[in-house]
Every structure is written in structure tokens, then in C-alpha cells.
Amino acid sequence: MGRVHQVAAEEALAELAAASANFGFLLPLEPLLLLYGAGAEADAYDRPKRSVAQARQFAEVLTAESVRLLGSDSADGPVHHVLAELRRSGDPAPDGETAADDRSRAQHFVRHCFELGVWYFRLRTGVRDELSFVPPVEWDRTPASPPRRQVARSVPVADLAIWVALLDEYVPILRRTFDRRTPAETTTRASLKARSALLEAKWLVADLLAEAGWTVQHASETPHELPVRGVAVRGTAHPNRGLVAGPDYVLRIDGQPVGTVEVHPRSEDLRAAMARTREAGTPSTTSAERWMPYTYVTDGVRVVFRNGDDPEPRPREVFTFHQPDTVARWLREAAADPQAPTFQGRLRHRLPDLSADGYSQGSLGSVQYDAVRAFESSLRRGERRAMAQIAVGGGRTVTAVTAAHRLLRHARARRILFLVDRVELENQALATFAAYSGPGDDGRKFTELYRVERLGPDAVPTLGVVVSTVPRLHNALSRGNPASAVRYQPDLPPEFFDLVIADDCHRSVSPQWRALFDYFDAPVLGLTAAPTERALEVFQGNLISSYTFEDAVADGRAVDITIYRIGDLPTRPERTADTLEEESDLDVEAPPAHRRSMVSGKALHAALTAFKEGLPSMFPERARLGSGDVALPKTVVYAANDQHADEVVDAVRAVFGQGPGLCQKVTLKGGSPYRLLSQFRNTVELRVIVVVDLLTGTDIAPVECLLFLRDVKSSYRYFQMLAVGTRPIASAALRAVTPGASAKTHCVVVDPVDVARHHAVQPSTTRKRGRGKDADEAPAAAATVDDAEVMTRWRSFLRAGNDSVQELITGTVGLADGDVRRLHSWAESLARPPHGLTAERIWSAYERAGVSVSDPRRPRTPMGPVDLLALARYEAGLEPQPRAYRDQVFDRLDAWIDRQERRGRSFDSDQVWWMEHIADGTAAGGNFAAASLDAVPFTLRGGTSGFLRAFGEQGAVRLLDELRSVLA
């Protein structure tokens, strides 16, 4: 280029810079960016396709310049994503008719070019001056994109277009000069990279604020013409810091400053930055901190938040910024209750202790009572994660409902999320909420006071409790793409819930689901029967209470297991393609040289034959006189895969010589699993189910045998499988579905693959009481404490009793509901150190001493809490001999029937069946509730309707009231 032409070009570029309201500042840094940016700006209205082409050229030049300055390894982040979008913009050809959509698109790209130009300017200069986009006046005539704010307008673009056209012939020359530039020096590049990291963080933060509903603007801009609740004002100095650099944003609610946002590079420690922010503001801004209580520190990816209104303000990491409406609500709550201005404050000052709220260990149950109290103490301390271990039968759902009830009532929680593993558990949770009534509710149910609903696919939940399966919630937060990560959902923002309760939380913490816990800005209570190492890590090691399987066995809430090994059977490896997924339970590696295996072919028939022949030794009390046969108990068989399950079903039918009704395959992914499970639970005919999926949370109390025909890699999964068979069941209910059974005293694990030896000790975080080293050993107390010591401990327990205990022992009337609860409390206290006893263990000692003798007319059943009263009355000298409560109940029934018959009233066999089973239910629980008529075994004869048919509608009600009074 000649000297004259060069001078002319420089003058033309200067004129172009003066004419462009949005790109003139780029002239000293890179003329090509000025040319392409101003060209896109000039053509956006009349020639939008040419404008898009210019924007693409702008992006190509800036991409090459960023690589020169920062290196190719820096080509990532939000800036480069926008550059890539511009480089992919459509056909540059200017032909065709211009439409409003074309203009809108071109104007959108021009704004992008301006934002990228500002980023480049700040990268090169380090200057933080505010630069605002000024829309050309022609854009006012574009109906597709009206201006959002009243801002200054540039002059018409006619002059701008002229200067762009004049400089068009110089573009190749400028491009050759640009291409000859050498990469930046290493030291310069390092400095620019550090500056780029902060700039990109600020870019991201602006997007995060806008996504959360904040209107982002510069302090110099005229306020928005429409009413806007939340505005994030960029680059405003802190009002009380003088010359000290202020925050990057000040958050305003309805015009009032309420919070600050500071942006830091991704390499910085955000919590340390938050501490520095607090220290810098402490000396001179005491009033300002009350005025602006909300502080955010972020690097554009992570966001750390501190609420200055909390009793002990602590920084915590949140998914993103809170919505303006949320912050406005916090301000209203703080004004309404200055002593407890936040949810954390209400937990500290408005949540009474359980005992002061009308709860007692007897009414709630000591396990639930201790867990709720421990969780609330954890909340008051400000801990964000807490996990309670509650074994099967310990009342996890009741614990969760009680915690939710108290937080809604006293801490004014708005919404609580209850997460479950699958739909069946969701239904159980909804039923528990519907049946729950707390102290002081005047008998009204939970659902009468608070709304309880499922999380729907579209509707936004209202206030109250929201119940959801984990997959459904993940689907809502991944916008219908199960393989996608959790993303921000404006209708379900992170602050939507005040508390998250996760049942079976050891499954929810898998890599696929654990992001749900990090999304919500709420404390999380995890409930589990088996706390895994992964779960403990996610819950920050905060195990607030522990009620183990051994505790449940000692308290009668679960039956123990025994192992029946079948040895010397060949196994074959499972085929990898068919093995059961254990994605959420692989917390424990398989032992060395431990191969997963399955029993198949001839070995399968041998194992099933050995199982059949071993039944008399597993259940000796059930052997039929003369034959030695034992009816097949309800049995769950664990198979390796669907193909193996089909083979097992055929083999079971062949070995036991019965048809299809004996054994069925049940998988949760096909068929009608819940119908088959109900049939298995409630009928005599279906004796065996073969499963591949884990039946987590499925209540099948009649199960007495578990047959493992496949190995299990995870110890946690293995013990979950065992839990299916450990639920206790009333003797009458068991006899209704298992002929020849008297009581469920244990669960037999039939083990032809030797899986028990691989998982001999149940993983736990606490020392278990009453367990030996091997899974099939008897409880330690039963093995090491003799009968004399048992009776001594029992008498010591009685001597330590109080007046209420004496009142119960000396009472002459029947057992009331409160008496039964007190006896259960006795049993729980006895099971703890220093006593370590169960009702069954004490009764067995008295029987072996010849003090107590069971009635030979009736089968011996395990003793429970209500049987303790007879022993206590015997020790008090009020009874000549302790008699089992069941024997007493049936004696009362026999005497009552005799009296009725002497008066001329007779009963047929069907009516006697009903009365005997009501007596059985009374003996098992201490009293009989009318609702029990709709449970097994009564459902086998029509439930409540069948009872009404048997005795007549009026007579049935009178009879039930009379029996409940006579038998208790």
C-alpha cells in the first residue's frame, strides 16, 4: 500500500470508528474487528444476510487473535462457544427477500459481536470501564425485537455504511498484516490467560444471573422502563468502602440494595474469598450488612452464598443464584419475625423439643423418637447433611413424616421433598402421610392440614410435601433426557424446597443421582438400613443415629437369619451381557479370586432337591407326624438374569412336582410385578417367586426362605436381599398362607453358591450388639449368658421400675393402647445395655427352669413385649405361674364362647374362624384394631365385608366391640 493510500485508509478507519457507536473502541487494537463489526452493524436492517456474513468474519478474526494471545489450549469456555456460534452462522449470500426474522437474527449477532469485542478490549487493556451497546435508530422500526430499555441512540447508519464500503478494498491488505502477526510471548500469554479466566467468569456470571431471573444492567444505564423486581447492577462501588474496589454486582430488590456478587477466577478458593469479603466489610459496614445481608462469591461455575440474617452466618455452596422472588420473600419473612428472620433462625428459636410438643418415646417409638431428635439437633447446628440408619421394621417413613410435620408446623417450612426409590415405595409414603396425626392436631390427619402430592411431569407443586421417585425428579431436572446432567429449571429452582428427605439414600447417592442433592439449596436427611461408604461420604460422615439389623432382631422388629449351606455343587460363570446391573451398590469390591457364579443345569436340580430334602431340618417343629414332610415355605429365589430365571422356574416346578401355580418369575421391568407380589403375599398357592431385580422396600412378610442361585458382588446388596426375608409377621397371618406353620422365628438363607462366606460380616458404622463373627451364629447374649443371669437381669430391671410400672403390674383391667405402648417401651429398654435381653430370651429361661409351661393344646409361638407383663406379675407375687399372653387370650375366648352357648347362642365354623383369628391378632399386638380386618389373614375371607356377612352388619359391630373388651 502506498503512503498516500495508507494515510487515506487510516483516516477512513478513524472516521469509521467515529461513526460506529458500538465498535469504534476496537480501532487501536485490531482494525479488522472494527471493519467487520461496524459492517455487521450497518447492514443489520437493510441487508441482514450480509450482516450475518460480516459477523461470521468478525468471529473468525477474533478466534485467530485469541489463539495468538492465549494459545490453542484456551479455546474453550463461554466466549469461544459464542465465537463458534457466529462462525456457524448461515449463508452469507445477500440474495432473497428480507424478512423480519432475518433482521432479528442479524441484530442478535451484532450484539454478540459487541459483547465479544468488549471481552477482547478488556483482555488486551485490563480496563474495566463500562461499555454499553447502543442500538442504531433504524432498529426501532423492527417489530420483531423492540428495545428493552430507554437508551441513547446512535446516528443513522447511512454514513457508517458509506465508510464501510470505502474501506472494503483495504480488507485484504489488513488481513495480510493480521496473518503475519507472531504468537504472544510466553510471559505475556501467562498474564493474559489469568485475565481471560476472570473475564470469562464474569461472562458466565452474567448468564447465571439472567437465567435466575435477574435483569443485568450497568450502573450508568437508565433504569428499566417496566417494573422489575430484581436487578443486578454491574460495577457499582460498595457504598461504605470509599476507594476500595466494590463488588462486581449489587443486587437490588424493588430498587433496594440487598446483596452483592463478587467474581473471582476459577483457580481461587471461593470460601477464602468469602471470608475476605466479610472481613473487609466488618469494621465500617455494620449497618450496611444488615441492609445488604446476602453475599455471593462465584467463579462463574461454583457459587458460594452467605445469608447474613442466619443465627450463625456460614458460607455454603449453591447450584446458582436465588431468584429475585425468593430474595423478596426472605426480606418479608425477616421483617415479619426479626428474632427468627430465616428458616435456620426458626429452627433455632421456633422449633420446640419433641417432649414439649406432646411427643413421647412411647407414642412415637424410641427408634423414631431418637432419630427425629438427633436430626433436629443437627439442623439447629446448621449441618446441611444428616443420615439416620434405621433397620427394616424400625419405622423410617414414620420418622420422615414426623420430621416433616414438625418443620411445617413450627419452622414454617414451605415445601419438603420426600424422595423414594420406586413407585411402590411412593405409594407407601403417601399412605403413611395420609394416616399420620400428630399431637395437638385434634385428630386431624396430616393431609387435612398440609398438602401432600406427587411430583407431576408439568405442574409446579404447591406448598406442603412433594413425593417423588428419584428417576422422575431427575427427569424433571434434566428436561426429559435421562442421560443428561441436571440443569437449571426455573419452575423448580434450587431454593424450591426447605428440606429434602431421601429414603433408601444409599441408592440415591450413586453417580447418576447424587447431583440431585447438590442441586437443591436445602438440608438433606438421608434414611437407610445399610449406610454405605459412598453414602457416608455424600452425607459428610454425619451419621446422627444408628438402629441396626441386630437391634431390630433384639427388639422383635425383625427375625434373625440362619444359613443352610449346600456344598460340592459345580457352578458356571455368569455371562457378562446377562448379569444384573449393580450400579448403585458396588461400594465394596469383590474379594480376591472371587468369581461371580450361578447354579445351572444338573447342579440346579441337585440344589433344589437338597433344598426340598432339607426342609425338615430347617423347620423341625413343622414336620408332619409319621411322614417328616414340611410344607414348602414362602421362598424368594435370586437368579442371575431373565434366562436363568426361566430355567429356575421350570426346575422348581419339576423338583416339587407341581404345576405353574407353585412358582412364578417376577421382574420389575415386565409383566405385572405388583399383582404377582400381592398374590405371593396373600395366597396359599403361589409358594416361590424367582427374581432378578432387587426387591428394595417390598414388604413380603410371609417369606421364610431365601435361595441364592447366583453370587452377589456387593455386600450392601447382599444384605438388602436378606432384608426381604427378615420382616416379622403375626402367627395367624403366617398360618393363613403357609399351612402347618406355627410362627415365623427365623429366615433360612439357602446357599449353594457359598455367597454368605464372602459377606460374613454385615458392614456397619457402629458396634453391633448380640452378633458373632459369622452370619449364621446365634446372638452373643444367647450363647454366653446363662438362664440364671438372664433372670437376674430381668429382676434387676423390674426393681428399677417407677410408679407407672407398678401401676401397670398391679392393674386388674385389660390392656389399653397406652399399656401396650409401655410394654413395647419395656422391650426396647431391655434390649439395650446393660440388660441385653428380649422377651423370648427371658421366657425361654423361665421355661427351662420349670417356672413357666406352655399350653400343650396350642403351638408354642415366639414371645413378645406383651408377654413381659405376665412375668412381671409373677415376680410381684400376683400370679402363681406366668402364662403366655396368647394362652390367656384364647382361654378368655373359650370361656366367652361357653357362656354364649349356655345362653343359647351358637356359632358356625366360619364365625369361629373369624373369632379365633381376632383372638390371634389380639395376642400378637395386645389389642385389636378394626382396621386389621382389611389385612391378612382376614382378606382371604373378604376382609371387613366378609366379617359383616358372617355376623350381620349390626351384630358384627357389637360382636367386635365385645370381643375387644373380653380378650384384651
The helix/strand/coil state of 225 is coil
Higher pLDDT, 414 or 858: 414
What mean pLDDT is predicted for residues 435-447?
89
- The answer to pTM > 0.75 is no
pLDDT above 50 (res 512): yes
Is there a contact between 759 and 776 (Cβ–Cβ < 8 Å)? no
pLDDT tens, position by position, 782-832: 334 577 888 888 888 887 765 555 667 766 566 777 778 788 778 777 776
pLDDT category, 187, cuts 50, 70, 90? confident
Least Cα distance to 100 among 54, 142, 136, 52 occurs for: 142
The most confident of the ranges 230-239, 507-516, 818-827, 950-959 is 950-959
Mean pLDDT of the chain: 80
Nearest to 264 by CA among 313, 319, 216, 194: 194
The tens digit of pLDDT for each residue in 888-918 reads: 888 889 999 989 888 888 898 888 888 988 8
pLDDT score for 335? 93
Res 42: pLDDT:
87
Q: Tell me, what's the pLDDT at 399? A: 93
Quick one: what percent of the chain has pLDDT higher than 70? 80
- Cα–Cα distance between 887 and 317 in angstroms, integer? 61
> Rg of the chain over CA atoms, in angstroms?
37
CA separation for the pair 649, 664 (Å, rounded): 6
The C-alpha atoms of residue 372 and residue 377 are separated, in whole angstroms, by 9
List, in sequence order, every residue forming a beta bridge with 597; answer none if it has no partner: 573
Calculate ∠ Cα 872-873-875, nearest 5°: 65
Give the angle subtended at the CA of 490 by the CAs of 487 and 496, to the nearest 5°: 95
User: Which residues have C-beta within 8 Å of that of residue 841, sequence separation ≥ 6?
Assistant: 781, 782, 790
Residue 153 reports pLDDT greater than 80: no
Contacts of 638 (CB under 8 A, 6+ apart): 691, 692, 706, 707, 708, 709, 710, 712, 721
Length of the chain: 968
Q: Are 309 and 329 in contact (CB under 8 A)?
A: no
Q: What is the pLDDT of residue 797?
A: 84
Mean pLDDT over 771-790 rounds to: 46
Reading the block at residue 746, the C-alpha cell is 427365623
- Mean per-residue pLDDT for 663-688? 83
Q: Which of 300-314, 769-783, 869-883 has the lowest mean pLDDT?
A: 769-783
Answer yes or no: is pLDDT of 140 > 80. Answer: no
Residue 530's pLDDT is what? 79
Confidence of residue 278 (pLDDT cuts 50, 70, 90): low
Mean pLDDT across 48-73: 86
Judge contact between 809 and 876, C-beta under 8 A.
yes
Beta partners for 598? Answer: 572, 710
What are the pLDDT digits (tens) for 216-270? Answer: 887 666 555 556 789 999 875 444 443 345 788 999 999 899 999 999 887 788 8
Give SS3 for 500: strand
Asked whether 385 and 526 are in contact (CB, 8 A), the reply is: yes
Q: For 388-424, what is each residue's pLDDT tens digit?
A: 999 877 888 999 999 999 999 999 999 999 999 888 7
**What span, in angstroms and rounded, lies between the C-alpha atoms of 828 and 739?**
32
CB 861 within 8 A of CB 828: no
Is the pLDDT reported for residue 720 higher than 50? yes
Three cell numbers at 155? 446516528
Instruction: Specify the pairing of strand 663-666 against strand 688-691.
Output: parallel
Q: How confident is the model at residue 147 (pLDDT cuts 50, 70, 90)?
A: very low
Proportion of the chain above pLDDT 90, given as a percent: 24
Residue 427 has pLDDT above 80, yes or no: yes
Largest CA distance in the chain: 134
- Write the burial class of residue 341 (CB in 10 Å: 0-12 exposed, 13-18 middle, 19+ buried): buried
- Strands of the sheet containing 215-218, edge to edge, are 215-218, 230-234, 249-253, 256-263, 294-298, 303-307, 316-318
Across 288-292, 423-427, 555-559, least confident range:
288-292
Amino acid identity of residue 663, one-letter, is C
pLDDT at 322 over 70: yes
Measured distance CA(317)–CA(8) in Å, rounded:
57
Contact 30, 116 (CB under 8 A): no
Between the alpha carbon of residue 750 and those of residues 231, 245, 310, 808, 962, the distances in Å are: 67, 72, 56, 44, 45
* pLDDT tens, residue by residue, 568-621: 666 666 543 333 333 333 333 334 334 457 888 889 999 999 899 888 888 877
d(Cα 911, Cα 733) in Å, to the nearest integer?
Answer: 17
